[in-house]
Amino acid sequence: MIFNIHVTGIVQGVGFRPFIYRLAESYGLKGSVINLGDAGVRIKIQGDKDKIYQFIRDIKIKAPPLAKVKEIRIEEIEDREEFQNFSILQSDLEKESQGSITPPDVGICNNCLKELFDEKDRRYLHFFITCTDCGPRFTVIRSLPYDRERTSMRYFEMCDECREEYTNPNNRRFHAQTIACHKCGPKAFLMDRSGKIISNSSVDALKKASKLLAKGNIIAVKGNGGFHIACTAGDDEVVERLRKSLDRKQQPFAIMTRDVNAVERFAFLSGDEKILLTSEVKPIVVLKKKEGSTLISSAVSPGLHTIGVMLPYTALHALLFHWNNIDVLVMTSANKPGYPMVIDNQEALKTLSNIVDYFLMHDREIVQRCDDSVVSFIGNRKTFMRRSRGYVPLPIKIKNRTKEVVIATGPDTDVTFCILRGNQTFLSQHIGDTSHYETMGFFKNALQHFQRLLDVDFSLVACDLHPRFSTTIFARELSEKRDLQMVHVQHHHAHLASLLAEHGLEEMVCITADGFGYGTDGKAWGGEVLYGTFDNFERMYHLQPQPMIGGDLATEYPLRMVAGIIGKEAEEFLFQHADKFPHGEKEIEIILKQIKAKRYPITTSCGRVLDAAASALGICYRRTYEGEPARKLEATATGGKDVLNIKPEIKGNVLDTTLLLETILENIDRYDRKNLAYCAEEYIAKGLAALAIDAAESKGVRHIGFSGGCAYNNHILTTIRRLVEKENYIFLQHQKVPPGDGGVSLGQATV
């Protein structure tokens, strides 16, 4: 009796075929297994019927840790073929149906780590140690099926020993496509900033790099998905030097620590955070700092109460900690903010040589760029700040199946794109700020990569409502070139839709609060309460429209928001802070004239109000990275009390925010900043919750969601949740895609 078994899901590059081989052997069954590229894996199995049934049952139960079996289709076939044994066949390029998925990169596993530091192992200290369970995937694969020759490992001919392991079904590197060793694998080398080779022997290069780091040098380190810039994290002088040369004045740097024990010396670590930090993904986890720890320089995340931490996720990273007692390193991606991370050796030499002292590189090409993922626990729930390495390109399943193949191009900053096929959405890795030409180039390159991996042709293109976003222009060109239907989706409607899709709902009331989204009236939105379905939405309430004196300048210098919100009465306060304006009193005079003449755009943005509060309280006068004033406001507010207890003032469908700023300024000498910052957040949270509850009641809706960049604020989110749940509504927050703009493309795709 022969059965044809077709398995779809994540069954490539995860040790699935060797697993099937061993399983068949254990039941004494004969047959074959073959990779069908995009279409999954096909097994032919011959033998005793009961044993075959047990075999099929075990496929799902005993599948390897990284495999995700989506569907198993079984048919009995009339086949005269007699199998002599069980064998793994070379994959062919036939694609019978759509279904299989490229796996994401996987952080180094414990078995590999053990071998890495085992003097007797033949891969002792080998920087590119991987196995069937771990290593790069998404970043090395050119096309499916996932075989060595279709990865950037094809140029490294296996040595005899590696080949023996690769072809031995009982070896844990059986069919591990990235198998390598000292003899046959990629080589690491160390260069100085002029490009002169310091060491071209892998172990020596790493050893020297580690020593140079310990001595306070800044080194560009090539990893799996791009370059990082590394330096010691405890030395103020070194970290400040890095800030200066990167021109990142305040933006927090992520750090990498030797192990999880080192983390607990400078940050609080809950059980869930620990599990995530040490998981196979090994993302950056945002943790609460412990006061007074000397292990980390205060320049690493200035003005914030949190710090982003990850563990070594490749052997190369782990080795940097092996010598010289290094416990913590700054490990920040090598790029200007919003620009794509450097991935190419020559490009690194060209663009980073005036930033770093040395380069630690290797000779394996990075096929696809992929930034580190960043995860934070907001309201004690896992929340993506950036969904990238380790998660991409895993699909997110949605409830409704569509016949269209949709490409959604995302917003403008913090962009991801999204491909919808059937009932699966594929969210891209983090792309960045597409107003930069280079970033848009990365966008197009990543899109081609996804198209190749998924083998799709689009039938519909979705984009933002803003006519001048690069992603909108790209969508228009694509729709004209391929004659595709094009759908414009309002930014906050997309936020709402992504939350609907994530939770499998059809309608909800959603608070969408962030920095900026182009409204249907052509104005700037960002503090709205919407009722919506996938098809439609209604803007029910919003924050008070406030002037942005000088337009975008008011985003960079939030005191301009204070000026606009308070108006002429702020004159005295502004002149007291003249030194906080780049052009001093002269600038203030112009601002006052603009207020008088009512020459300014307006916004209902929640982010801008929080920014204004931060600058009114002297917490942050200039925004040097996205969300800076609001994040510092939150850091200041930690542990505060609602000393003012301001009752939200709602007039018609508008929440008054002038009252908030006025009250704060009136009390500025009476209470300390911590409590006033807390009051500002509390007012916004209470106001938005009251509006949302009102909207839900009038629409007869059970679900109230919260999306947008302000949903990263732990205090605001937990306050809204508490108030909403007190009124017996179901509160929803994002857990599969980022609440910020990184999740917008998923909403666009599903509308």
Q: Which is nearer to Zn ion, 314 or 332 (CB)?
A: 314
Torsion sign over Cα 468, 473, 475, 477: positive
d(C-alpha 710, C-alpha 586), whole Å: 33
CB of 662 to Zn ion, least distance (A): 60
If we measure between CA atoms, which residue out of 196, 219, 195 comes closest to residue 207? 219
The amino acid present at 439, given as its one-letter code, is: T
Q: Which is nearer to Zn ion, 162 or 356 (CB)?
A: 162
**Collapsing DSSP states into helix, strand and coil, what is residue 509?**
strand
Contacting range for Zn ion; rule: CB under 5 A; set: 41-49, 182-190, 690-698, 706-714: 182-190
Contacting range for Zn ion; rule: CB under 5 A; set: 175-183, 200-208, 356-364, 619-627: 175-183
If we measure between CA atoms, which residue out of 355, 460, 461, 357 comes closest to residue 410? 461
23, 33, 144, 162: residue in contact with Zn ion (rule CB under 5 A): 162
Contacting range for Zn ion; rule: CB under 5 A; set: 71-79, 153-161, 217-225, 656-664: 153-161
Assess 109 for contact with Zn ion (CB under 5 A).
yes
Q: Which is nearer to Zn ion, 49 or 183 (CB)?
A: 183
CB of 316 to Zn ion, least distance (A): 14
The structure tokens 């069980």 sit at: 86
If we measure between CA atoms, which residue out of 246, 247, 447, 222 comes closest to residue 347? 222
CB of 185 to Zn ion, least distance (A): 6
CB of 225 to Zn ion, least distance (A): 17
d(C-alpha 366, C-alpha 675), whole Å: 48
d(C-alpha 230, C-alpha 360), whole Å: 10
Ranges assigned E (strand) in 142-282 = 188-192, 197-199, 219-222, 227-232, 255-257
Contacting range for Zn ion; rule: CB under 5 A; set: 174-182, 515-523, 546-554, 693-701: 174-182
Binding mask 89-108 for Zn ion (x = CB under 5 A): --------------------
Assess 462 for contact with Zn ion (CB under 5 A).
no
Assess 679 for contact with Zn ion (CB under 5 A).
no
Assess 281 for contact with Zn ion (CB under 5 A).
no
Contact yes or no for 221/228 (Cβ under 8 A): yes
d(C-alpha 350, C-alpha 193), whole Å: 10
Residue 285 belongs to what H/E stretch? strand 284-288
**287: which strand partners?**
307
CB of 183 to Zn ion, least distance (A): 5
Contact yes or no for 646/697 (Cβ under 8 A): no
**422: which strand partners?**
402
Contacting range for Zn ion; rule: CB under 5 A; set: 177-185, 345-353, 394-402, 568-576: 177-185
CB of 674 to Zn ion, least distance (A): 46
Assess 315 for contact with Zn ion (CB under 5 A).
no
Assess 159 for contact with Zn ion (CB under 5 A).
yes
CB of 466 to Zn ion, least distance (A): 45
Assess 181 for contact with Zn ion (CB under 5 A).
yes
**Token pair for 247:** 């021109």
CB of 160 to Zn ion, least distance (A): 8
Q: Which is nearer to Zn ion, 176 or 524 (CB)?
A: 176
CB of 263 to Zn ion, least distance (A): 22
CB of 165 to Zn ion, least distance (A): 8
67, 131, 267, 508: residue in contact with Zn ion (rule CB under 5 A): 131
Assess 113 for contact with Zn ion (CB under 5 A).
no
For every residue of 617-641, DSSP letters joined together read TTS-SS--STTHHHHHHHHHHTT--
> Residues touching Zn ion: how many (CB under 5 A)?
10
Contacting range for Zn ion; rule: CB under 5 A; set: 123-131, 381-389, 512-520, 695-703: 123-131
Residue 318 belongs to what H/E stretch? helix 315-320
If we measure between CA atoms, which residue out of 556, 670, 533, 543 comes closest to residue 615? 556
The amino acid present at 222, given as its one-letter code, is: K
Assess 134 for contact with Zn ion (CB under 5 A).
yes
CB of 137 to Zn ion, least distance (A): 12
Assess 183 for contact with Zn ion (CB under 5 A).
yes
Q: Which residues lie below 8 Å from residue 435, measured CB to CB, with a gap of 6+?
A: 338, 412, 413, 469, 470
Binding site for Zn ion (CB under 5 A): 109, 112, 131, 133-134, 159, 162, 181, 183-184
